[in-house]
Structure 1
Amino acid sequence: MNPVDLLIRGGLLLFLVCAGFTAQADTPLLGRLFFSNEERQELDRFRDEAKEHKDSVAGEKQAISAKSFTMDGVVMRSNGKSTFWINGVPIPENSVSQTGIHIIEQPDNTIEIGFSCGSDDVRLKPGQKVICQGNEDPNIH
């Protein structure tokens, strides 16, 4: 018998032995992986509490951001639909009027946005920020 045949037979025998042990292994049903039901419920509770906390913080940020606006930019698509980035949040063109913002298209194909800041209307170009301080004049940076 040559060494190649011996290696092939030995490899085949080793494969069959390993396959036999694997077939005989008594595997339990998996169910939920990694966590018991109690651990899973605790993780779900933590996730729900974090979500409630995040929602309350978002409400506070919304109240704070109502006093200052940053026109981060405008994405003008070839299909005519634009997206405005205000305070780091994308606002589609069709919902801009719902937020109290109006679009001012310029003759040189640029866009400004306008909104009420106290008693004044303010116009911003992309990159500008305005801080509204009650009845005082708005501070534009």
Structure 2
Amino acid sequence: MKIKKLNILLLCGLQIGLLTLNLHAAPSDDFGRLFSRPNERKSLDILRQNQKLKVIKPEDNIATAPENIAPPQLPAPVTLQGYVKRSDGTSTLWINNKAVQENSAVDEVQIGKLQSQTGTTQAMDGLNVKIPANGKQIRLKAGQVYLPETNQIRELKTVEKAKRLNLEETGVIANDEQLQP
């Protein structure tokens, strides 16, 4: 019981103290300005009144583009033939028929780190590739080709088949039937 009365008295004393503190912290009317001396305030007012307005002409804003800028040179198609993951965590990647390490550059493209994501049905491994010429960042899986001209990712088998069919149509590569007597 004594503890309860003591807590009530402490609470009342604390509230009275806070009320008197609020009365002393009330803002006064003589707060003033940043520069409280009248001569400084007067000189700033004169400077502000005599300042010339800056006029912006629309013709000045238009920057003339240099006429001889060539478009960025797109790299050759980027092909991820495959990769090997080692138990120590490093990986070797075969890109455009060259063995490269992760986080390196080859054929004007920056190779990222091989990432594996386990989905609900199957594992989805992919490689992040950045093309500095057009600023694109893509994700390739093993057996895929990125074609920068068309900005498409296609399967390597379909691209090779289309090339072979095109060569057969132009007569560069003969069919097996034509080779037999």
Common topology (TM > 0.5): no
Work out which structure has the larger RCO, using CA pairs closer than 8 Å and 6 or more positions apart in sequence: 1
Q: Larger C-alpha radius of gyration, 1 or 2?
A: 2
Q: Bin the TM-score by the shorter chain.
A: 0.3 to 0.5
Query: In proportion to residue count, which structure has more helix?
Result: 1
How high is the TM-score relative to the length of structure 1? 0.43
